[in-house]
Structure 1
Amino acid sequence: MISKDDIFNIKSDAEFETIALEVFKFQFQNNKVYRSFCDLLYKHPADVKKITDIPFLPIEFFKSREVVSSSEPIEKTFSSSGTTGSITSKHLVTDIKLYEESYLNAFKHFYGNIEDYVVLALLPSYLERDGSSLIYMVNDLIEKSKQPESGFYLNNLEELAETLKTLEAKKQKTLLIGVSFALLDLVEQYQLNLKHTTIMETGGMKGRRKEIIRQELHQILQTGFGVSEIHSEYGMTELLSQAYSKGNGVFECPPWMKILTRDTEDALTIQTPNKTGGINVIDLANKNSCSFIATQDLGKTFDNEQFEIIGRFDNSDIRGCNLMAL
């Protein structure tokens, strides 16, 4: 049985592949939804010798099915944001400690000790609903920072701007994590010049503003905050791990997560790096749900295993996923 220690102590690609194949066998045997999907593709453990042989479950299954690989009781249900009346994704989490270890280990891997940072969160659209995995993570990071100034901001932008200036004057290492539209609201009202603050956007206008391309968004934020790079977080309700970008929209995964791309015309074909395709995620922290997910994002991987997100499929673009209807 794969343990947390196995997952969070992966040191090489070979180790990753070994554990991923073990997790596949476990989920094939214990996850009814995933097993049915693999059966439809005639893909069984005997047919799966390497990572690229593993079937990736279309992410839409999280909207219509209970995707679980564990018989343990559900400790937490995370849900996606959705327009009124739309069906949202639900991630049933049987071991919340796995999620906590995943984001704390990832933060340490990319940014160091959380206690060195004041964590400021500008996430109004997420705070206004229940079930956000992002709010769960950021709330815990705020607590773990043990800094009295750390906290959430909703619409009190003036107070946030003053806090940033005060921390800047003290040369305090600070992380400001925010949803795109709220960060734009902030820099439209206050011009800042931050040397000790990391600005991290989590994407999305959430219907509050017109969507703009990443380069334009980052340029406006760089100018408004007086910083040379805008960091980004790539995560979703259906994953218990996040990838991070320290600039230019190029993301890197923690050692227990990997991105592959699939051919847009043939969903079962995994591509070599440097080609645009559908984003497939292996997230080994998802061992109690499904670790192999075909998302609706379009992107490209590079030879060094970094990746970028280019956009999203619209429904008319999704080919090769007709098994969904089954």
Structure 2
Amino acid sequence: MQHKIFNIQNAHQFSEVALAVFQHQFKHNKVYRSFCDLLFIHPSEVSKVEEIPFLPIQFFKSRKVLSSLDEIQETFTSSGTTGSSVSKHLVTDINLYKQSYLRGFAHFYGDITEYTVLALLPNYLERNGSSLVFMVADLIEKSKNTESGFYLDNIQELARKLVALDKRGQKTLLIGVSFALLDLIALQKFNLKNTTVMETGGMKGRRKEMIREELHTLLQSGFGVTEIHSEYGMTELLSQGYSKGKGIFETPPWMKILTRDTEDALTINSLEKNGGINIIDLANYNSCSFIASQDLGKVHENETFEVLGRFDNSDIRGCNLMVL
């Protein structure tokens, strides 16, 4: 099945594999099976992707979401405020994650060995269990470039390196959390020609929240680039979406975004309508591939999507099934 997941080439193949993964997880994932049973939904009645139930993402905080009996190789955890519960993604086959992010990066950006990878992820480096740090550390290693690396508080050194690499014509990926990228351009203005600047979100608790357009305008001006790229990922996923500008995201062939009605969590929206983001990530074969996130978004005709914000806890509807 893993071979099929990463060799999907069209919508028909995606649908075929997704339905097979649904049957597998219904059978082997106790939490997901209980959720489907409460909805009175059985695989025999599901003939298309839109009919598959999406598990509320909060279950990753309270349950072991597993479709495998294999030994757990990695546990990825979300960052949480003091006293809050965190999501845990129990990974029984770390190679699935590696395949997903390496193939995903290659799909959108090409060969990692062409890049110097500079990572500015201070709040992620300061804790254990970050799936983002795991991915970026491997990208740094796979770049086979001695100048690739992480930066924590040494942003002056990063600024010097960034200028030197760009002046040399070296293809560079600067990936960082929003507040740290803002700190970097507060230190120095840049005029980068050979660098991709990619933000991964992450303002909460560090700076005032700002809308994407405002953030990207500041970063474009500060780095001297025409577009700011973005990565859309989370602890509960083993795949990522990428935006090459203007907040328009694309997914790799084994990942799909749908939106659900904000008043009725079981109803899938038509295209171009705002709603809660539902994610199909077939790389999540050993956990759950069908997740109802707390993000709000819109899917366009060409299957690109935008992230428009998040549900307030008070706004989350249709989650009375959380009392499993």
TM band (smaller chain): over 0.9
**Structure-2 separation of matches of 1:256 and 1:41:** 26
Q: Is this contact kept in 2: 1:27–1:35, CA < 8 A?
A: yes
Question: SS of the residue aligned with 2:283?
Answer: helix
Q: Which amino acid aligns with 1:150?
A: S
Pick from 79, 82, 91 the counterpart of residue 80 of structure 2. 82
Pairwise CA distance, 1:63: 0.1
- Give the Cα separation in 2 of the matches to 1:192 and 1:37: 51
> What is the distance in 2 between the residues matched to 1:278 and 1:311?
9
Q: Structure 2 matches for 1:29-108, cutoff 5 A?
A: 29-108=27-106
Alpha-carbon distance in 1 for matches of 2:299, 2:54: 17
Verify: 1:178 aligned to 2:158, yes or no. no
How far, CA to CA, are the matches of 2:320 and 2:53 in structure 1?
14
**Counterpart of 1:249?**
247
Name the aligned partner's letter for residue 243 of structure 1. Answer: G
Corresponding residue for 1:15? 13
Do structure 1's residue 138 and structure 2's residue 136 form an aligned pair? yes
Alignment equivalent of 2:288, drawn from 284, 287, 290: 290
Where does residue 202 of structure 1 map in the other structure? 200
Q: Deviations over 1:105-147 (max 9, x none)?
A: 0000000000000000000000000000000000000000001
**Is contact 1:142–1:150 with CA below 8 Å preserved after alignment?**
yes
Match of 1:279 in 2: 277
1:219 & 1:271 partners in 2: Cα distance?
A: 31
Alpha-carbon distance between aligned partners in 2 of 1:92 and 1:274, rounded to the nearest angstrom: 34
Does the 8 A contact of 1:263 with 1:269 survive in 2?
yes
Q: Which amino acid aligns with 1:215?
A: E
Amino acid at match of 1:211: E
Does the CA-based 8 Å contact 1:125-1:206 persist in structure 2?
A: no
* RMSD across aligned positions (CA): 0.5
**1: CA distance, partners of 2:204 / 2:66:** 28
Contact 1:301 1:307 (8 Å CA) reproduced: yes
What is the alpha-carbon distance in structure 2 between the residues aligned to residue 65 and residue 234 of structure 1?
Answer: 24
8 A Cα contact 1:78 1:132, kept in partner = yes
- What's the counterpart of residue 109 of structure 1? 107
SS at 1:285 equivalent: coil
* TM-score normalized with structure 1 length: 0.99
Q: Secondary structure at the match of 1:164?
A: helix
Gaps of 5+ in 1: none
Q: Distance in 2 between matches of 1:94 and 1:319?
A: 32
Q: Which residue of 1 aligns with 2:187?
A: 189
Question: Structure 2 stretches of 5 or more lacking a match?
Answer: none
Q: Distance in 2 between matches of 1:97 and 1:74?
A: 12
The aligned counterpart of 2:258 is 260
- Give distance in 1, aligned partners of 2:50 and 2:167: 51
Match of 1:302 in 2: 300
Shift of 1:169: 1.4
Q: Give per-residue Cα distances to partners, 1:8-47, cap 9 Å, x unaligned.
A: 1100000000000000000000000000000000000111
* Paired position in structure 1 for 2:121: 123
20, 24, 44: which one aligns with 1:26: 24
What percent identity do the matched residue pairs reach? 70
Equivalent residue for 2:321? 323
Q: How many Å separate the matches in 2 of 1:107 and 1:295?
A: 23
The amino acid across from 1:80 in the alignment is: S
Return the alpha-carbon distance in structure 1 between the equivalents of residues 249 and 323 of structure 2: 32
Scaled by the length of structure 2, the TM-score of the pair is 0.99
1:206: Cα distance to partner?
3.3
